[in-house]
Structure 1
Amino acid sequence: MDLYDEKFINEAIIEAEKAYDEGEIPVGCVIVRDGKIIGRGHNLREQQSDPTAHAEIIALRDAGRNIGDWHLDGATAYITLEPCPMCAAALILARVEKIVYCIANSELGACGSVWDFPDDPAFSSHPIVIRHNIDSYKTLLNKYFKNLRETKR
Structure 2
Amino acid sequence: MMDETDEGSLPAPEASFSELDHAMMRLAMDQALNAQLHGEVPVGAVLVKAGQVIATGYNHPIGSHDPTAHAEIRTLRMAAEQLGNYRVGESTLYVTLEPCMMCLGAMLHARISRVVFGAPDPKTGVCGGVLDLPAEGRLNHQTVVQGGLLADECGKLLQRFFAERRAQRRADRAALRAQQDELARWAASLPAEEETGTLHLDEAGD
Report the TM-score range of the alignment, normalised by the length of the smaller protein. Answer: over 0.9
Spell out the pairing of 1:35-114 with structure 2 (5 A cutoff).
35-114=51-130
What is the CA–CA distance in structure 2 between the aligned matches of 1:122 and 1:38, rounded to whole Å?
30
| Contact residue 91 and residue 112 of structure 2 kept, 8 A | yes
Task: Count matched residues.
Answer: 153
1:149 maps to 2:166: yes
* % identical aligned pairs: 35
User: In angstroms, what is the RMSD of aligned CA positions?
Assistant: 1.1
Q: What secondary structure does 2:24 align onto?
A: helix
**Equivalent in 10, 19, 22 of residue 3 of structure 1:** 19
Spell out the pairing of 1:100-139 with structure 2 (5 A cutoff).
100-134=116-150, 135-139=152-156
| Contact residue 77 and residue 99 of structure 1 kept, 8 A | yes
What is the CA–CA distance in structure 2 between the aligned matches of 1:133 and 1:127, rounded to whole Å?
17
- Choose 53-62 or 127-136, whichever is displaced more: 127-136
TM-fit CA distance, 1:133: 4.6
| Contact residue 22 and residue 149 of structure 2 kept, 8 A | no
Q: What secondary structure does 1:149 align onto?
A: helix
Q: Deviations over 1:87-113 (max 9, x none)?
A: 011111111000100011000001122
Q: TM-score, normalised by structure 1?
A: 0.95
| Contact residue 43 and residue 54 of structure 1 kept, 8 A | yes
What is the CA–CA distance in structure 1 between the aligned matches of 2:139 and 2:88, rounded to whole Å?
15
| Contact residue 56 and residue 79 of structure 1 kept, 8 A | yes
TM-fit CA distance, 1:127: 0.6
Q: Name stretches of at least 5 consecutive residues in structure 1 with no aligned partner.
A: none
TM-fit CA distance, 1:151: 2.1
Runs of 4+ deviating beyond 6 Å = none
Q: What secondary structure does 1:152 align onto?
A: helix
| Contact residue 118 and residue 125 of structure 1 kept, 8 A | no
